[in-house]
Amino acid sequence: MIPHAPILAIVLPLFAAFLMPVVGILARRRGIKRAREWFAIAAVLVELVIVASMIPALREGQIIPGQFPVYELGGWSPPWGINLAIDGLNLFAAVIVAGISALVVIYSFVCMERDHGLDQYYTLLFLILAGMMGVALTGDIFNLYVFFEIMCISSYALVAFRRKWQSIEASIKYLIVSSLGTSVILLGIALLYGMVGSLNIAHLAQKLPLEPTSAIIVPLALFVTGFGIKIAMVPLHMWQPDAYQAAPSAVAALFSGATATIGIYAMVRVVYTLFGAFAIGIMLAVLGLVTMVLGALMALAQRDLKRLLAYSCISQIGYVLLGLGLGTSLGIQGGLFHLFNNAIYKTMLFMIAGAIIYRVGTSNMDRLGGLWKNMPVTAMLFGVGALAISGVPPFNGFASKWTIYVAGIEAGQPVFTIIALITSALTLAYFLKAFNSIFLGQRPKHLSDIKETPLPMLFPIMLLAVLCIVFGVLPQLGIDIVRPAQEAVMNSGGYISAVLGGA
């Protein structure tokens, strides 16, 4: 492990963000082309290495006092100081975030080249990354709130980045709804602090079982609502299609892959570790079912590719919630595996939508058609993504959906499994519609000289497509990645004793 890796993972993107304008100014003075882009790629790759270096350390159970797995900031031991606590679940979220961010930064190299103000774009991108890493790694509930706000504020700004009418409208809706959500989280934290007098997650988790059950209902509901807004759980989802449709495609890819993962992580951490409330799992499962059906049915009627993908994102988060809500070890494993797979193929599909917009200039499916002849590789990759997300073997979506179906039956809820299966068929239906409208059929005259997606844009998409196939053919590999996270969810006692030293 790299020394001080947990804190470096947060500090590095923060510094990279504020160095970005300086790099931009220096590059303009010296006349170096694309310095910011290369700087951003270098920074995000270093970040990925730092995060990845923690994986073997965690697997081997390496313990460095004061540094790993519990990093004590300023040498103050918990519960007095702020600490970063790394367990399987944190690291799982952090790896997804770092990986997806790396691919998105590489993708932005070409995708965003026609925009102005790229200094600000990369600054905001790295601020989001810092916020997400902070949420993923911190062990302090108020610290989690602050990083959550950093992530949210930079994401509002990124949605409004192009300052067209749709970006402004989407951003202001997103801002007000999401700020209400974060205020609700703050109220929840205030109630918890008033009740227990601590802000450390492990310390709270240790003390909360002593409180009467009726006292934790309100803070728990406030937390679930606040994080539910971020992951677009029905009925808190309405801002999400607007924001994803209006944001630049690279940003939408980052949101759908990384930010949704962080939302789910925070939800799981607070509900299962902090409150230990496995009893409300059934509510999460039912909300997940409503979410997946509503997302799929809304997606069926969309005209815009990015809006369709946004509703599909809502629908897939429903599967994750269903798996997590079942509460059995197989269910949580399936839910987290689906979260992992969703990050892979949803990012990939948004990147393909961005490639089409880059070449054609529109994502309205009524104005596209017959692009198969112009962009054969892109069409094939879209096919891979569409089949993976619909859960067709041998792609990765099948493995995780199958785990969730089996978990549903084993948990004695066959009705849940049946609804999830029907939704899966609907998913295939709307992706066939999208594939047909964009790549098959008659090609309108104005599309006849469209070229294939440029190679730097195609590279991250291809990498994700390869991952789709690898985790589909070798699902055991994915299960091995997910298992430490699933064990961490089930074992909140281990988290508490790791942070508080068995005290």
Partner 1 sequence: MDFNYIIAMLLVALGLYCLLLKRNLIKIIIGLAVLTDGIHLFLISLGYRSGGIAAIVSGEMFSDLPGFAARAVDPIPQALVLTSIVINICIVAFALSLAIYSYRHYGTLDPSKLRRLKE
Partner 2 sequence: MEFGPGFWGPIIATAALLLITAVAWLILIGGRKITKAKPSAQKLQTYACGETLGAEEIHPDSEQFYSPIRRVFRPFYRYIRPAHTGILNTYLFWVIAGLIIIMISIALALG
Name which of 146 and 463 has its Cβ closer to partner 1.
146
Which residues of 227-362 form beta strands (DSSP E)? none
Residues whose CB is less than 8 angstroms from the CB of residue 480 and which lie 6 or more positions away in sequence, other chains included: none
Name which of 79 and 263 has its Cβ closer to partner 1.
79
Residue of 226, 219, 316, 334 lying closest to 277 (CA atoms): 219
Q: Answer yes or no whether residue 301 interacts with partner 2 by CB under 8 A.
A: yes
- Give the C-alpha separation, 211 to 443, whole Å: 65
Q: Answer yes or no whether residue 165 interacts with partner 1 by CB under 8 A.
A: yes
Residues in the chain: 503
Q: Which stretch binds partner 2 (CB under 8 A): 36-44, 198-206, 313-321, 436-444?
A: 436-444
Q: 416-436 burial, b if ≥16 CB within 10 A, otherwise e?
A: bbebbeebbebbbebbebbbe
Name which of 241 and 257 has its Cβ closer to partner 2.
241
Q: What are phi and psi of 140, to 5 degrees?
A: -130, 130
- Give the C-alpha separation, 227 to 265, whole Å: 9
Q: Answer yes or no whether residue 82 interacts with partner 1 by CB under 8 A.
A: no
Name which of partner 1, partner 2, none residue 228 binds, using a CB cut-off of 5 to 8 Å depending on partner kind. Answer: partner 2
Q: Which run of H or of E encompasses 85?
A: strand 83-85
Q: What are phi and psi of 61, to 5 degrees?
A: 70, 30
Name which of partner 1, partner 2, none residue 456 binds, using a CB cut-off of 5 to 8 Å depending on partner kind. Answer: none
Q: Answer yes or no whether residue 74 interacts with partner 1 by CB under 8 A.
A: no
Q: 75: burial class by Cβ within 10 Å (0-12, 13-18, 19+)?
A: exposed
Single out the residue of 89, 294, 468, 482 in contact with partner 2 (rule: CB under 8 A): 294
3-state SS record for 194-227: HHHCCCEHHHHHHHHHHCCHHHHHHHHHHHHHHH
Name which of partner 1, partner 2, none residue 394 binds, using a CB cut-off of 5 to 8 Å depending on partner kind. Answer: partner 2
Residue with tokens 């679930």: 224
Q: Answer yes or no whether residue 52 interacts with partner 2 by CB under 8 A.
A: no
Q: Least CB distance from residue 193 to partner 1, whole Å?
A: 6
Name which of 130 and 387 has its Cβ closer to partner 2.
387
Residue with tokens 């963000």: 17
Q: Is the dihedral of CA 247, 250, 252, 258 positive or negative?
A: negative
Name which of 108 and 315 has its Cβ closer to partner 2.
315
Judged by CB under 8 A, the chain residues 177 through 196 that form the site for partner 1 are 179-180, 183, 186-187, 189-190, 193-194
- Give the C-alpha separation, 336 to 321, whole Å: 9
- Give the C-alpha separation, 351 to 124, whole Å: 19
Judged by CB under 8 A, the chain residues 282 through 341 that form the site for partner 1 are 298, 301
Q: Answer yes or no whether residue 441 interacts with partner 2 by CB under 8 A.
A: yes
Q: Answer yes or no whether residue 37 interacts with partner 1 by CB under 8 A.
A: no
Name which of 302 and 342 has its Cβ closer to partner 1.
302
Q: Which stretch binds partner 1 (CB under 8 A): 100-108, 156-164, 349-357, 369-377?
A: 156-164
Contact criterion met (CB below 8 Å) for 447 and 441: no
Q: Answer yes or no whether residue 195 interacts with partner 2 by CB under 8 A.
A: no
Name which of 33 and 445 has its Cβ closer to partner 2.
445
> Binding string, 200-239, against partner 2, x = CB under 8 A?
-------------x--xxx-xxx-xx--xx---x-xx-xx
C-alpha Rg value of the chain to the nearest Å: 22
Judged by CB under 8 A, the chain residues 197 through 236 that form the site for partner 1 are 199
Name which of 190 and 422 has its Cβ closer to partner 1.
190
Name which of partner 1, partner 2, none residue 476 binds, using a CB cut-off of 5 to 8 Å depending on partner kind. Answer: partner 2
Tokens of 300: 């069926």
Q: Least CB distance from residue 306 to partner 2, whole Å?
A: 14
Residues whose CB is less than 8 angstroms from the CB of residue 9 and which lie 6 or more positions away in sequence, other chains included: 47, 50, 51, 54, 94, 98, 133, 137
CA dihedral 256→261→263→267, nearest 10 degrees, is 150
Single out the residue of 172, 191, 195, 463 in contact with partner 2 (rule: CB under 8 A): 172
Applying CB under 8 A, which residues contact partner 1?
142, 146, 149, 153, 156-157, 160, 163-166, 168-173, 175-176, 179-180, 183, 186-187, 189-190, 193-194, 199, 241-242, 245-246, 298, 301
Applying CB under 8 A, which residues contact partner 2?
172-173, 176-177, 180-181, 184, 213, 216-218, 220-222, 224-225, 228-229, 233, 235-236, 238-239, 241-242, 277, 279-280, 282-283, 286-287, 294, 297-298, 300-303, 365-367, 369, 393-394, 399, 402-403, 406, 409-410, 426, 429-430, 433, 436-437, 441-445, 472-476, 479
